[in-house]
Amino acid sequence: MKLNIAVLPGDGIGPEVTAQAVKVLKAIAMEFNHVFTFKKALIGASAIDKTGHPLPEETIDVCKGSDAILFGAIGHTKYNNDTSTNVRPEQGLLELRKTFDLYSNIRPVIAYDDLLHKSSLKVKQIRGTNILIYRELTGGIYFGDKTFSEDGNRATDICSYSRFEIERIAHQAFKAAQSRKRKLTLVDKANVLASSKLWRRVVLEIASQYPDVELKCIYIDNAAMELIINPKQFDVILTENMFGDILSEEASVIVGSIGLLASASKGDKHVMFEPIHGAYTKAANKGIANPIASILSAALLLDHFGLVDEAALIRAGVDKSLHLQITTPDLNTKYDHITTTKVGDFIEDFINNPNETNLNFKNIHLGQSTII
């Protein structure tokens, strides 16, 4: 298969982790005789620094000419306390999602047996967790009208949703549930918010078209608690933009590190694949950033194009690296010498030689034999 992939590394740790995902995709292309071409473009703080805009026209053109976008991370700490309404790096990502109508953000949350003890939660509560979050990505409070009063003492953000915006992602979430445990949970705040009332009405209506799916509707405050008390009760979660942002980051506690969570952002014409983590500016260029979320985002990209064996091979490489503790320091307290690049190299080599023994991997890639 031929695929043109737009690569938007972005800011902070984005370039380092994205480089590992590209490396892994190149190994897959070699192994399976695909032709993947990569074209880089600027976004975020690095784009502001170079062009004055967080999403330059040229980047939009590169994305338009691609089959898929691979995105890294966005943001910079220098903007943290900047509350002016001036241009911010995050606008680049939001504009990108809007421009390409990437309304459905799919975030898998899977607890790895090898990492259960890394979570702050109890092992018996999280073992076996496998949740798919459908986060609406182009509507809600993120994109509603925003105002700042002239005296600077009042501000508003409008949370607005139309039936159409809810329907299109709801159908996807119901269909995903049909192919899983047939359980869908709508998370809203329908006891207070008008937009949530519309979500609930529309989703309850649609439910009659999916009689094999058990639908539950719960409030966001309750969901935030249930997600860490008993994550296994969830199969597919459907929710609006901001609730999905918060819940998915909370869910990373189950998995052990936010550096593991990948996502796919899909529209009807375009697709993008992005880790859920941010730019983590202070970790940039230190070789400590976990590349797995980016590598697993690449696996989601392959899944999207039906390259399921290829995606499975990447996941097997990730599993192996976690099992052997060939991981960055966020997960690895035992060995502090395993860098972002080494994790990528390990998974790349696994793809090239999936049947090698563990011992060889360790010796070749770590240059030592002490951690057998």
Q: Is 278 in the site for ligand IPM (CB under 6 A)?
A: yes
Phi, psi of 313 (to 5 degrees): -65, -40
The interface partner of residue 90, options being ligand IPM, Mn ion, none and the CB cut-off 5 to 8 Å by kind, is ligand IPM
Nearer Cβ to Mn ion (12/317)? 12
- N-terminal to C-terminal alpha carbon distance within the chain: 39
**Residue 182 to residue 110: CA distance in whole angstroms:** 17
Q: Is 108 in the site for ligand IPM (CB under 6 A)?
A: no
Nearer Cβ to ligand IPM (90/165)? 90
**Residue span 176-195 as binding mask against Mn ion, x where in contact by CB under 5 A, dash where not:** --------------------
Report how far apart, in Å, the C-alpha atoms of 82 and of each of 43, 76, 142, 159 are: 19, 11, 18, 23
Residue type, 283: A
Nearer Cβ to Mn ion (18/66)? 18
**Residue span 26-65 as binding mask against ligand IPM, x where in contact by CB under 6 A, dash where not:** ----------------------------------------
Which residue's CB comes closest to ligand IPM? Answer: 90
Q: Is 245 in the site for ligand IPM (CB under 6 A)?
A: yes
Kindly tell me which residue out of 90, 165, 188, 240 binds ligand IPM, with binding defined by CB under 6 A.
Answer: 90
Nearer Cβ to ligand IPM (77/325)? 77
Q: Is 251 in the site for ligand IPM (CB under 6 A)?
A: no
Exposure class string for 78-99: b at 16+ Cβ within 10 A, else e: ebeeeeeeeebbbbbbbbbbbb
Exposure class string for 313-346: b at 16+ Cβ within 10 A, else e: bbbebbebbbebbbbbbbbbeeeeebbbebbbbb
Q: Is 276 in the site for ligand IPM (CB under 6 A)?
A: yes
Q: How many residues bind ligand IPM (CB under 6 A)?
A: 8
Report in angstroms how near the CB of residue 245 gets to Mn ion at its nearest: 4
Q: Is 245 in the site for Mn ion (CB under 5 A)?
A: yes
Query: In sequence order, what are the residues at sequence separation of 6 or more whose Cβ sits closer than 8 angstroms to the Cβ of residue 35?
Result: 1, 2, 3, 29
Kindly tell me which residue out of 47, 48, 70, 93 binds ligand IPM, with binding defined by CB under 6 A.
Answer: 93
Nearer Cβ to Mn ion (41/247)? 247
Q: Is 70 in the site for ligand IPM (CB under 6 A)?
A: no
The interface partner of residue 74, options being Mn ion, ligand IPM, none and the CB cut-off 5 to 8 Å by kind, is ligand IPM
How many other C-beta atoms can be found within 10 angstroms of the C-beta atom of residue 163?
13
The interface partner of residue 121, options being ligand IPM, Mn ion, none and the CB cut-off 5 to 8 Å by kind, is none
Nearer Cβ to ligand IPM (273/361)? 273
Q: Is 74 in the site for ligand IPM (CB under 6 A)?
A: yes
Q: At what angle do helices 308-323 and 14-32 cross, to 10 degrees?
A: 120
Report in angstroms how near the CB of residue 2 gets to ligand IPM at its nearest: 29
The interface partner of residue 9, options being ligand IPM, Mn ion, none and the CB cut-off 5 to 8 Å by kind, is none
**Under the rule (CB under 5 A), what is the footprint of Mn ion?**
245
* Site of interaction with ligand IPM (CB under 6 A): 74-75, 90, 93-94, 245, 276, 278
